Homo-oligomer: A and B are copies of this chain.
Amino acid sequence: MAAMKLLALRSAYKTASFHFGSRQLPLRRNYVRAFSAAIMSPPSMAVVYDQHGPPDQLTRIVEFPPVEIKANDVCVKMLAAPINPSDINRIEGVYPVRPVPPAVGGYEGVGEVYAVGSGVKGLSPGDWVIPSPPSFGTWQSYIVQEQSVWHKINKDTPMEYAATVTVNPLTAFRMLKDFVQLNSGDAIVQNGATSMVGQCIIQLARIQGVHSINIIRDRAGADEVKENLKKLGADEVFTESQLEVKKVKDLLGSLPEPALGFNCVGGNAATLVLKFLRSGGTMVTYGGMSKKPVTVSTSSFIFKDLSLRGFWLQKWMSSDKADECRDMIDQLLGLMRDGKIKYDMELVPFNDFHIALDKALGKQGSNTKQVLIF
């Protein structure tokens, strides 16, 4: 371990600076200050990558030396942080906004305040906080960031939900609000319904009295998946092959034609969402799991008057929405405490990061969301 620490430091020295969250900290200076009288953080274990490429090959766990906690800084002991697909894309270098390597992985999570600088008000050791808006570098055991980064949350929230509230549930929350005015009794349609966003959409729609029509890919155990989504509140769940019919709308029964659809798959699964939409409806694309583009007929635009849009939470949050964002997160956390939003997660000790990463990369057959526990 000592050897590893040394190696990490040497590597860090070579690159002169390192990303903790959105700050670049000159490491050499911090290391020097570790011997001064400044208030210092504990050493931090972190998942780092030195260049873009395959995450399973390029990430390693290193120990960082203590960092000074300045007057306005808060030192947070991380409790839990998920591995989201966008975290993987950032390491791969294919995500449009990403830290310059070397960098620490992760983008959201929850932690407990460990120590505060002399000028910090409203946060005390023991408080639970999340970075809001999220920021880079949550896959590490201690983070020192200015107090403005941190949003204090209710400690009664289940830890793994607090760790995952922003990237996926907030996406679902915004997408149900920002594109079409939905009223009780209306319907939405989505593909990728088993994704975390998909599960949140089902439950958030249901809370508003909005029906959901859900499309999943064909798979072994599809009936069980359907049953689980229906328990969450899904009105209808279809596999793609069930929708190989002339008129998918004949399958709607008494449900209204949806005015809003969500696509996180692309290809045929996106076409199916478009087929369900009513005239004048809107499809919002927020992911492309199949890696296939969206294909739309001319008549869908002209005669069916469909609108196709996109949603990216990171852009939405960057547009001066910080306060609004925190209000919404508090609403979502309340629903989570009440058991009104649930989704599947697998909790994994931080030291087993590479096992969790392999699962997140789909190498072990499971797609369950991996949440690192520190």
The interface centre, meaning the residue of A96, A294, A307 with most chain B CB atoms within 10 A of its CB, is A294
A181 contacts chain B at the CB level, 8 A cutoff: no
Bound Cα distance from A307 to B311, whole angstroms:
10
A308 touches B305 (CB 8 A): no
Tell me if A301 counts as interface (CB < 8 A to partner B).
Answer: yes
Q: Which residues of B contact A295 (CB under 8 A)?
A: 293-296
What residues on B are CB-neighbors of A315 within 8 Å? 303, 305
Task: Determine whether the beta carbon of A305 is less than 8 Å from that of B310.
Answer: yes
Q: Which of the segments A41-49, A120-128, A220-228, A280-288 contacts the partner chain? A: A280-288
Docked-complex contact A309 and B303, CB < 8 angstroms: no
A 136-153 binary contact with B (CB < 8 Å = 1; else 0) = 000000000000000000
Name the B residues within 8 Å of A311 (CB-CB): 301-302
- Inter-chain CA distance A293–B301, complex, in Å, is 10
Q: Give complex CA distance A354, B265 in Å.
A: 49
Give chain A's interface residue range (CB within 8 Å of chain B): 20 to 34
Measured CA separation A213–B328 after assembly (Å):
42
Q: Is A241 an interface residue (CB 8 A)?
A: no
A sample of 11 inter-chain contacts (CB < 8 A) reads A288-B302, A293-B297, A294-B295, A294-B296, A294-B301, A295-B295, A295-B296, A301-B308, A302-B311, A303-B315, A305-B315
CB distance from A294 to the nearest CB of B (A): 5
Residue of A284, A293, A298, A302 with most chain B CB atoms under a 10 A cut-off: A298
Contact B308 A312 (CB under 8 A): no
B310→A300 contact, CB < 8 A: yes
Q: Are B310 and A309 in contact (CB-based, < 8 A)?
A: no
Closest Cβ neighbor of A294 among chain B residues: B296
Counting CB contacts under 8 A, is A299 at the interface? yes
CA distance A287 to B297 in the complex (A): 10
Contact across chains for B293 and A296 when beta carbons are under 8 A apart: yes
Closest CB of chain B to A278's CB: distance in Å? 14
Complex CA gap A191/B315 in Å reads: 30
Q: Does residue A110 face the partner (Cβ distance < 8 Å to B)?
A: no
CA distance A294 to B307 in the complex (A): 13
**In the assembled complex, which residues on chain B have CB atoms less than 8 Å from the CB atom of A288?**
297-299, 302
Q: In the complex, which residues of chain B have a beta carbon less than 8 angstroms from the beta carbon of A296?
A: 293-296, 308
Smallest CB gap from A266: residue in B: B298
Question: Are the C-beta atoms of B307 and A298 separated by less than 8 Å?
Answer: no
| Residue of A286, A304, A307, A309 with most partner-chain B CB within 10 A | A309
* A266 cross-chain contacts in B, Cβ below 8 A: 298
In the assembled complex, the Cα of A334 lies from the Cα of B21 at a distance in Å of 61
